[in-house]
Amino acid sequence: MAPLAPPRPRTAPEAARPAPVRPAAPATPPVRPVEPVRPAQPAPAPEADAPIGAVQPAKPVVRRPVVRPVDADEAPDGPPCPACGTPNLPGRRFCRRCAEPLQAKEEAEPLPWWRTVWPFRRRVRVRSGRALRRILLVLAVVGLLFLGFLFLPAGRVLFEDVRDKLGGTAEISPAGVSASGSAPGHPAGAAIDGLTNKYWSAPTLGSSLTCTFATPFRLVGVVVHTGASKEPEEFRREPRPIRAELVVETADGTVHEKKLTFNDKPGPQEVRTGISDVVSVRLVLREAAGQDGGRPIAVGEVEFFKRT
């Protein structure tokens, strides 16, 4: 039997040593697979006949206001602003703080008295009634000139002539008729009876036919039918006047003379007169056609027309 080994002496237990700390490995993100880069393919060319679609317009961009920098040496020693009282340089037109105009508006001069009466008075609104006032002023001036023109003789004649042309006419019958001479069977009354187959027969040249009227009137015109008839054969058979003189007397005694020339053919021949306040008309024969052997001169009808 083998001998036993002697026992070892007891020693104090060793203290536990701390285990070494290893640094932790940094966390790495997961690696994604890289996709292969494909070459960009060109966009397909538009077809020639393909319609072009609407394009939306771009949005407008408002420009920002540019602020003018104030000079550092600008001394506020000018006149104060009437709105905020901020002093400004003498050359400025608007306040540098509130942008109010620095120059005061000039007050209008007081209107004359006639401008305060309608329609010349000033209105509250700008240019209100100005055109109307000008039109009324022009009309007033034209009216005054027209009234002044009427007081002149030439203006009165022109005014009455315009009224004759614009107004109507009506036949007026004489109140009485007389002649300086007449052939038997053809008295003076045959010239105003309204019939052309009866006539006044004047014995010689210089004979006259006088017609009187009851009340004065405006004589617009006279219509004379020369010859014995309106039929050509009977017209050529008798002598007829081709030149005469019309003597018109007015209510104030004024006498107007007018020379007449007739066409040597049957039918009415109009003579415009335009004389106011007529009371009598005398027709004097001066020349005749077809007067052989001293035969009497035939005047078929004489008509007078007034203004209505």
pLDDT at 218 over 50: yes
pTM: 0.52
Coil, strand or helix at 263: coil
* Res. 126 pLDDT band, cuts 50 70 90: very low
Which residues does 226 contact at the CB level (< 8 Å), separation at least 6? 240, 241, 242, 262, 264, 266, 269, 298, 299, 300
Task: Tell me the torsion sign for CA atoms 247, 248, 253, 254.
Answer: negative
Span 244-267, average pLDDT:
94
Q: Copy the structure tokens of residue 191.
A: 């010239």
- pLDDT number for residue 86: 86
Q: Copy the structure tokens of residue 149.
A: 């023109």
Q: Which of 25-29, 57-61, 82-86, 104-108 has the highest mean pLDDT?
A: 82-86
Q: What is the DSSP letter of 198?
A: S
* Res. 1 pLDDT band, cuts 50 70 90: very low
Closest CA to 207 of 235, 222, 186: 186
- pLDDT number for residue 61: 78
> How many residues are there in the chain?
308
Question: In whole angstroms, how large is the CA radius of gyration of the chain?
Answer: 61
Span 212-221, average pLDDT:
94
Average model confidence (pLDDT) across the chain: 79
pLDDT at 155 over 90: no
Q: CA 107, 108, 113 angle in degrees (round to 5)?
A: 140
CA distance linking residue 213 with residue 101, whole number of Å: 83
Percent of the residues in the chain that have a pLDDT greater than 70, as a whole number = 72
CA distance linking residue 201 with residue 186, whole number of Å: 5
Q: Are the C-beta atoms of 171 and 211 separated by less than 8 Å?
A: no
- Where do runs of H (alpha helix) occur along the chain? 130-150, 153-166, 232-237
- pLDDT number for residue 158: 75
Q: Mutual orientation of helices 153-166 and 130-150 as an angle, nearest 10°?
A: 110
Between residues 109 and 195, the one the model is more confident about: 195
Span 154-183, average pLDDT:
86
- pLDDT number for residue 103: 78
Angular region, 253: left φ>0, alpha ψ -120 to 50, beta rest: left
